[in-house]
Structure 1
Amino acid sequence: MITSHQKKALEDYFDKNYELEDILQKKGKLELLALINKPKTMATYTFVKQLEMLGTGHALMQAQHLISDDYFMVIFADTIYPPEAFVEMMKAFERSSSPIVAIHEVPQKEVYKYGVVKLDGDKVIDFVEKPKVEDAPSNLIWNGAAILPKRIFSLLQNLEADHRS
């Protein structure tokens, strides 16, 4: 998980809270204790700090050394997704063996808040981060979930940061 020095909520969530666990244990709230500890047992979590806020590509580069598979999933932590969204993405990936980017439509007047994609059929051909409304290639936004190839890192290394980083 990629975090910043200002945003520690995810790290705190997955960290052991000895005081809370002790209170729950002493009060006999064992079901609640098991519930709060369940996410900690479901996977191994590694945190990487993004020390400079230079965009999603930069954040991904901070975790490059942790990626060993040919493909990996990116999920923005500040968006809530229904679990079936990830199942659908995995099924689409299994069918196509191609990168998968979850997108959805927003009102045109709101595109300036998001990363906007331009499609050619079902392929993303352009991505504009927080464009002016009049410059947006569409009203389709990347909602922060994707299955990407490891080779994206070589592409990111060759990109120049724009004025917004």
Structure 2
Amino acid sequence: EMLPILTKPLIQYGVEEAMSAGMTTMAMVTSKYKQAIKNHFEPHADIESSINGTAKSALLDEVNHASEQCDFTYIEQDQMLGLGHAIYTGKPLIGNDPFAVILPDDLCTNKGDSVLTQMTKLYQQHPDHCIVAIEEVPMTEVDKYGVIDGELLEDSDDAYRVKSMVEKPSPEEAPTNLAIIGRYILTPEIFNVLESTAPDKNGEIQITDALMTLAKEGKVIAYKFQGERFDCGSVKGFVVATNAFAKVDGII
């Protein structure tokens, strides 16, 4: 999360995307080994005094803007037991409100509304539904993702009512090549479902399994977003993202 794409770490891109969608309460699920995330968004008077008035002050302004506009809270996930477990760990920070989930290693960019802004607009039309972001991936790569099957909503060419979801299927088992990426809008109902979701064969609680429970009730919509995603959780994706952002900024 702290690896930088050019001058900003991935976690900051995620926070800025949330801010673009009007969200200013940031609930961070971290571990005891990731204190750098908290440190990044906290003021450091000695560092700031040395940067103020230099060419780097614009970078400081970006971090301070997020720190001033947002409330940051943190909770530690004691064991890495899957994304569903991580989300459930954040329950004390969320309460009984709908919330978004951003996985910062999925870096998204576009020329218009951010992915989360697009999803928020869709959620406003379907306030009792969970929204998941999807994109088409090669069939040879579906085993890296949760994959959905569904039917297009009436009068839509990019939103599907989810009928089924499969976590990391083989290409032969995958119902489609529509893969879930690291953007979700979830209703607080998801916490009750996660509480009763059984771990998978690896002992992890998968958000895909919990969402499948709600999908059976017609409460999950998959949204094929506008924009480009970079998988910065892989070395190749991280390098591709760095080069793409450098080209946009005229660095290369």
Under TM normalisation by the shorter chain, which class is it? Answer: 0.7 to 0.9
Identify which range, 155-164 or 123-132, moves more after superposition: 123-132
Conservation of the 8 A alpha-carbon contact between 2:41 and 2:63: no
The answer to whether the aligner puts 1:34 opposite 2:61 as a matched pair is yes
Deviation at 1:94, TM superposition (A): 1.0
Structure 1 residues 1-165: aligned runs within 5 Å: 1-25=28-52, 30-82=57-109, 84-97=114-127, 98-121=129-152, 122-164=160-202, 165=204
1:103-149 alpha-carbon deviations (Å, 9 max, x no partner) = 11100001111222222442223322222232223211111111111
Alignment partner of 1:127: what SS? strand
Alignment correspondent of 2:234:
none
Relative to structure 1, the CA distance from residue 157 to residue 95 in structure 2 (aligned partners, 3 Å threshold; closer, same or farther) is same
Cα 1:19–1:155, aligned 2, differ >3 Å: closer, same or farther?
Answer: same
Question: Contact 2:139–2:171 (CA<8 Å) still a contact in 1?
Answer: yes
Identity %: 35
**Bigger shift: residues 7-16 or 63-72:** 7-16
Q: Is the 8 A contact 1:117 1:138 kept in 2?
A: yes
In 2, Cα distance between the equivalents of 1:134 and 1:9? 41
Instruction: State the AA in 2 paired with 1:54.
Output: L
- Distance (Å, rounded) in 2 between the aligned partners of 1:134 and 1:29: 51
- Counterpart residue type for residue 63 of structure 1: G
- 2: CA distance, partners of 1:71 / 1:26: 41
Which letter does structure 1 place at the counterpart of 2:119? M
- CA–CA distance in 2 between the matches of 1:74 and 1:103? 14
Q: TM-score, structure 1 length as denominator?
A: 0.86
Q: Which sits farther off after the overlay, 144-153 or 92-101? A: 92-101
Amino acid at match of 1:128: V
How far apart are 1:7 and its partner, in Å?
Answer: 4.1
- Partner SS state of residue 118, structure 2: helix
Q: CA deviation at 1:6?
A: 4.0
Aligned length: 165
CA contact (8 A) 1:3 1:50 kept: yes
1:24/1:32 contact within 8 Å kept: no
- TM-score for both structures, normalised by structure 2: 0.59
Change (3 A) 1:126 1:5: farther
Contact 1:101 1:146 (8 Å CA) reproduced: yes
